[in-house]
A = this chain, B = another copy of it.
Amino acid sequence: MSEVARYRVHDLQEFCCAVLQELQVPPLDAKEVSECLVAADLRGVDSHGVVRLPVYVRRIRQGVVNPRPVTRVVHERGNAVLFDGDNGLGPVVGLRAMQKAIALAEISGSGIAGVRRSNHFGIAAFYVHKAIHQGFIGFAASNAPPHMAPFGGRARFLGTNPIAVGIPAGGEPPLLFDASTSVVARGKIIVAAQEGKPIPSDWAIDTDGNPTTDANAALAGSVLPFGGAKGSAISFILDILCGVLTGSGFALNLHRLEDLGVEQNLGHFFAAVRTDLFISGKDFAARMDEILHMLKSSPAGAGTSQVLAPGELERQNEARNQVLGIPLLQSIVDQLAELGESLGLAFPKAADTMGLAETQP
């Protein structure tokens, strides 16, 4: 890992923000998108971090993403609202929708916000983190373009449709679950292909539908849903909530980030729930602490030292990266520096050159 250097969180956010503003993204929108990207790197989810900035920029330059969307509520019913993303960057409408769901929950106990005509929204954890921070249970999901075979199938049909759930506790850290509905993120297979390494046979199938350990064959084929028929069904249901229910695109109608000639037309689904929906907020916090404590006290299995709560590993990454800076591969830095150069913007210096503590992962 000698080609890794660490960069300050603030520096990366500033850089992304400046790049997006050069592309005519309004300052506040640029700030939100930048925070969403860097939040992924902070949590160690590199596949959804600043590495995505170049493709976001390419899509704006190609005119298939609107840099200045007029996001608006197009439908209201009870404690539910539907947003039209006006084909803007996903985090822009995503964050507004999550905030609206929280505001509705504040008043009504729970709130729902659907989104249509949106784009890649980064990590789902970004949105439920906002809910947790304000003391609410949060739920965020998106559909995604087809890269995954359904259970019993051999061709791409489903997205790796992500889902995140955040639940505040009392003294214990909150629960923050965020996962794709594939066995593994496609990003891991891309890395294996780059390194020329084989992959486990249960991650993906080739274009003929056969299990493969060849990362390139897997990338040409389809990733597999987590948990067999059950995970496949959950992914399908998320596509229905995000795409079918909202009037957005779904399944085979969705387009990849790399398809530079066409809008993605993704849909999202957000919900927030008050922790005192049924019992007092104080009781809820105490009971959350109790169940989390029970989980952490559960005897560990072979090869593990402790049972981890959902999101605990990512929280550890975040704490470390917040202090030491975010580790980026030189190849990623080169791409970002080149992008900056094309806009007359300098990529920030690595944190270790500024005297910050540094340990290689």
Q: Give the B-binding residues of A (Cβ under 8 A).
A: 75, 77-80, 82, 107-110, 112, 114, 116, 137, 149-155, 157, 165, 167, 175, 177, 179, 181, 205, 209-210, 226-234, 236-237, 239-240, 243-247, 250-252, 273-275, 277-279, 283-284, 287-288, 291, 294-295, 298-302, 304, 306-308, 310
Contact = CB atoms under 8 A, between A and B. Distances in A.
12 contacts: A77-B277, A79-B110, A150-B298, A152-B300, A153-B304, A154-B302, A155-B299, A157-B295, A175-B236, A175-B240, A226-B231, A244-B291
B230 A152 contact: no
A345 to B, nearest CB: 39
A294 B294 CA distance: 44
Contacts of A304: 152-153
Contacts of A229: 179, 310
Contact of A277 (B109, B155, B245, B284): B245
A78 B109 contact: yes
Main secondary structure of the interface of A (DSSP, over half): mixed
Given A152-B308, A167-B237, A307-B153, A250 B78 contact: no
Contacts of A251: 291, 294-295
B240 A288 contact: yes
A246 B279 contact: yes
A294 B231 contact: no
B209 A301 contact: yes
A228 B183 CA distance: 9
A150 B291 CA distance: 12
In this complex, the member of A75, A236, A288 whose beta carbon has the largest number of chain B beta carbons within 10 angstroms is A236
Contact of A80 (B109, B114, B210, B226): B109
A310 B233 contact: yes
A278 B251 CA distance: 19
Given A151-B307, A167-B237, 13 more contacts: A79-B108, A79-B109, A110-B110, A114-B278, A150-B295, A152-B300, A152-B306, A157-B298, A157-B307, A179-B233, A227-B228, A240-B288, A247-B278
Contact of A301 (B153, B230, B295): B153
A167 B243 CA distance: 14
A122 to B, nearest CB: 19
Contacts of A240: 167, 175, 288, 291
A275 B82 CA distance: 13
A299 B154 contact: yes
A244 B288 contact: yes
A211 to B, nearest CB: 9
Contacts of A274: 77
Nearest to A156: B298
- Return the 9 tightest CB-CB contacts between A and B, nearest first: A227-B227, A78-B108, A78-B109, A233-B310, A77-B109, A154-B301, A82-B278, A226-B227, A247-B279
A153 B298 contact: yes
Contacts of A236: 175, 291, 295, 310
